Amino acid sequence: MVECTRQTVRALREAVARSGNEVEIGAHMARLAGDVIARTEFDTSYETGKRIFLLIEELQRLTARSSRYLWVPGSQYFPSKYRREIKRLNGELEWLLKESIDRSREIADEGRTPSASPCGRGLLGMLLAEMEKKEAGGNGGGEVGYDAQMMIDECKTFFFAGHETSALLLTWAIMLLATHPAWQDKARAEVAAVCGGGAPSPDSLPKLAVLQMVINETLRLYPPATLLPRMAFEDIELGGGDGGGALRVPSGASVWIPVLAIHHDEGAWGRDAHEFRPDRFAPGRPRPPAGAFLPFAAGPRNCVGQAYAMVEAKVALAMLLSSFRFAISDEYRHAPVNVLTLRPRHGVPVRLLPLPPPRP
């Protein structure tokens, strides 16, 4: 993560020197998040995973468009241009992912991996190694036993969750810091005091309290997932206390949790619920009401990559704050659009003022 962010800082400095100090920060954050997930998942570079990212982005767009017909009974049985294109793109995506999985298994078979994991250093290698271990323990044969489709689906999940949502978290955080310079100065001063001019370390990350507050408030205002789909596996009743009527949810019913609405609920967050107030999450302050803060969902099915995302955000923002001062561009138009995730419709152009490289 540190090395990927260093490359992003260099790219931003070059962009400023070449074209002036105004850049569309979202594109750079997408590349950074893509590079991180490609290296940590597949041990590959961003360029190798670029086609996968583009396919997932297009599938996301088409899925969002076709979802308007979900409420029409029987719509899933009717052909449409969206459905045909989704099938074509998904076929290409699964073929690319299967190639990556097969390559990891070949590396393991040939013993060419330079790491302790027999299938590679990335997440994919760890998953394959764990399956190999379980299979060897089960029958003693040492054969890698795995469900290919399950592995492909897991790779899709980690690529999407690790790329799109992390890029948007960083983009929205920079937008908020650029429009709230006092908080930007506080976060930068903390990074300088804690990290001493160097890159964040595992020991320093927990000490970045102001940066954690900024990240949490960004996740509250612009959550990665605006809706959380769930299904009831048994009949349940909600509410009904204090003489109120209970809401019965039958088994098999779909339940959609409106995260964006909950995060902006004045009953939970106060009359300033729509304002950027990182001090809501200050150490020592009362925690948000149960169920009021759901950026990574909650319970046994919460986001498995929560810790990963928080570490990535802290590392990237700390290094960017040490390298640049941000100001929002006059061209910025605030227009969040919900396409499964909450995106800035017109991008986030910011003005970057390069700072002297920090001394280690």
Percent of the residues in the chain that have a pLDDT greater than 70, as a whole number: 81
- Measured CA to CA, the distance from residue 34 to residue 171 in angstroms comes to 13
pLDDT higher than threshold 70 for residue 113? no
User: How many other CB atoms are there within 10 angstroms of residue 181's CB atom?
Assistant: 13
What's the whole-number mean pLDDT along residues 36-50? Answer: 68
Q: Is 195 part of any known ligand binding site? A: no
Q: Same domain for 245 and 350?
A: no
Number of domains forming the structure of the chain: 2
Q: Same domain for 306 and 236?
A: no
Residues classed as catalytic: 165, 296, 303
pLDDT higher than threshold 90 for residue 75? no
> Out of 133-137, 207-211, 233-237, which region has the weakest mean confidence (pLDDT)?
133-137
Asked whether residue 337 is domain-assigned, the answer is yes
Q: Encoding tokens for residue 360?
A: 């280690």
What is the overall mean pLDDT for the chain?
83
Q: Same domain for 214 and 78?
A: yes
Is the CB of residue 152 less than 8 Å from the CB of residue 98? Answer: yes
Asked whether residue 360 is domain-assigned, the answer is no
Q: Same domain for 167 and 301?
A: yes
Q: Same domain for 119 and 248?
A: no
Asked whether residue 201 is domain-assigned, the answer is yes
Q: Same domain for 82 and 145?
A: yes
Asked whether residue 359 is domain-assigned, the answer is no
Q: Same domain for 247 and 302?
A: no
pLDDT higher than threshold 90 for residue 171? yes
Asked whether residue 89 is domain-assigned, the answer is yes
Structural domain including 311 reads 2-224+264-354
Q: Same domain for 172 and 116?
A: yes
Say what the pLDDT of residue 359 is. 62
Say what the pLDDT of residue 118 is. 40
pTM: 0.81
Cite the DSSP H helix spans in the chain.
2-19, 25-42, 46-66, 81-110, 123-139, 148-160, 166-179, 181-195, 209-221, 259-263, 266-269, 306-323
Classified as helix, coil or strand, 234 is coil
Judge residue 16's burial from the number of C-beta atoms within 10 Å of its C-beta, 0-12 exposed, 13-18 middle, 19 or more buried.
middle
Position 142 confidence tier, pLDDT thresholds 50, 70, 90: very low
Asked whether residue 284 is domain-assigned, the answer is yes
- Measured CA to CA, the distance from residue 124 to residue 43 in angstroms comes to 9
Asked whether residue 109 is domain-assigned, the answer is yes
Q: Same domain for 183 and 232?
A: no
Q: Same domain for 52 and 99?
A: yes
Asked whether residue 202 is domain-assigned, the answer is yes
Per the rule left: phi > 0, alpha: psi between -120 and 50, beta: everything else, 291 is left
Is the CB of residue 305 less than 8 Å from the CB of residue 189? Answer: no
Tell me the pLDDT tens digit for each residue of 5-18: 999 999 999 999 99
Classified as helix, coil or strand, 278 is helix
Could you please report the per-residue DSSP string of 124-174?
HHHHHHHHHHHHHHHHSS------HHHHHHHHHHHHHIIIIIHHHHHHHHH
Q: Same domain for 278 and 162?
A: yes
Position 283 confidence tier, pLDDT thresholds 50, 70, 90: very high
pLDDT higher than threshold 70 for residue 325? yes
Q: Same domain for 130 and 241?
A: no
What's the whole-number mean pLDDT along residues 231-252? Answer: 81
Position 141 confidence tier, pLDDT thresholds 50, 70, 90: very low
